[in-house]
Amino acid sequence: MLRAGMHDLQSAILSWYARARRDLPWRRTRDPYAILVSEVMLQQTQVPRVVPRYEAWLQRWPDAAGLAAASPGDVLREWIGLGYNGRALRLRDACAVVARDGWPRSARELETLPGVGPYTSAAVASFAFGEQVAAVDTNVARVVARIGRGAPRDLLPAGAAGDWNQAMMELGATICRARSVACDSCPAATWCASAGRAVAPPRREAARQPFEEMNRFVRGRILAALAAGEPLPAGIEAARLERALESLLRDGLVRRTAAGLALG
């Protein structure tokens, strides 16, 4: 029963993706480096914000060897504004391994690179090397759960993991969204256990600390100031500034030099 209509479901989703997919630059390449850069940048960062930064990044560092040879400070300067700045240094560390040893070609091997987890390794393995592995991010997990036809690997069509993973991500990002479900426009509706019944979860109204009061805000201000060659930001309580600075030093995003503070 599980397999009944599976081929039709797969064909419908892949055909929809071929027609409706967004033209994103990382979808036009099978270069594992370019794909890895895009996947790391897209972690908790919106697509429109990533596109110009991704293109500028590849123009400056077009391959893993170039990024591996860059200084931590230069890498952080290019990254600032994307958030979660430690991602930039882990990406550089991963590229240092690749520049030394070459590209791992399976998801299992890719996961040994610094900062590369199960989702990212599966994405690079399927998009760059054609490995038959499901790349499961938050969007894909939600779509699979709503369709209700088994685990992500059960839905993989033979020989099309790369396109399938992209299609499932696109479906979750544009149609089967967490808080905006468009079943009428969904190519999977005929075979979906939740079609017409998917309910967006209510927004939690729990009090949230304003971003300006969070340590991340102060950390970002410090990094931006150092990147611009400016003094530490004024107008922030000394104790907050010190806490944020100490955390940046511990994380390796800032270092002390004879001349003062410097990036990475």
Q: Is there a single domain that holds both residue 178 and residue 228?
A: no
Q: Is there a single domain that holds both residue 163 and residue 66?
A: yes
pLDDT higher than 90, residue 192: yes
Average pLDDT, the chain: 93
State the pLDDT confidence band at 211, using cuts at 50, 70 and 90.
confident
User: 116 is in which domain, residue-wise?
Assistant: 7-191
* Active site (catalytic) residues: 39
Q: Is there a single domain that holds both residue 230 and residue 258?
A: yes
Q: Is there a single domain that holds both residue 236 and residue 181?
A: no
pLDDT tens readout for residues 226-263:
988 898 888 888 899 999 999 999 999 999 998 889 99
State the CB neighbour count (10 A cutoff) for residue 82. 20
Angle at 128 between CA 65 and CA 159, to 5 degrees: 165
Q: Is there a single domain that holds both residue 109 and residue 221?
A: no
Q: Is there a single domain that holds both residue 234 and residue 120?
A: no
d(CA 157, CA 161): 7
Does this model's pTM top 0.75? My answer is yes
Q: Is there a single domain that holds both residue 224 and residue 104?
A: no
Residue 1 counted as domain residue = no
Looking at 158, 191, 224, the residue that finishes a domain is 191
Q: Is there a single domain that holds both residue 251 and residue 137?
A: no
State the CB neighbour count (10 A cutoff) for residue 77. 18
Question: Could you give the residue ranges of the DSSP H alpha helices within the chain?
Answer: 6-20, 32-41, 47-60, 64-69, 72-79, 86-101, 107-110, 118-129, 138-147, 152-155, 161-174, 215-227, 238-250
Q: Is there a single domain that holds both residue 138 and residue 25?
A: yes
pLDDT at 106: 97
pLDDT tens readout for residues 21-67:
999 999 999 999 999 999 999 998 999 999 999 999 999 999 999 99
State the pLDDT confidence band at 93, using cuts at 50, 70 and 90.
very high
| Total structural domains within the chain | 2
User: Which residue in the block uniquely carries the two structure tokens 């685990």?
Assistant: 151
pLDDT higher than 50, residue 2: no
What would the mean pLDDT of 106-131 be, rounded to a whole number? 97
pLDDT higher than 60, residue 116: yes
State the CB neighbour count (10 A cutoff) for residue 4. 10
What would the mean pLDDT of 161-177 be, rounded to a whole number? 97
What would the mean pLDDT of 99-127 be, rounded to a whole number? 97
What would the mean pLDDT of 153-178 be, rounded to a whole number? 96
pLDDT at 205: 59
Q: Is there a single domain that holds both residue 52 and residue 169?
A: yes
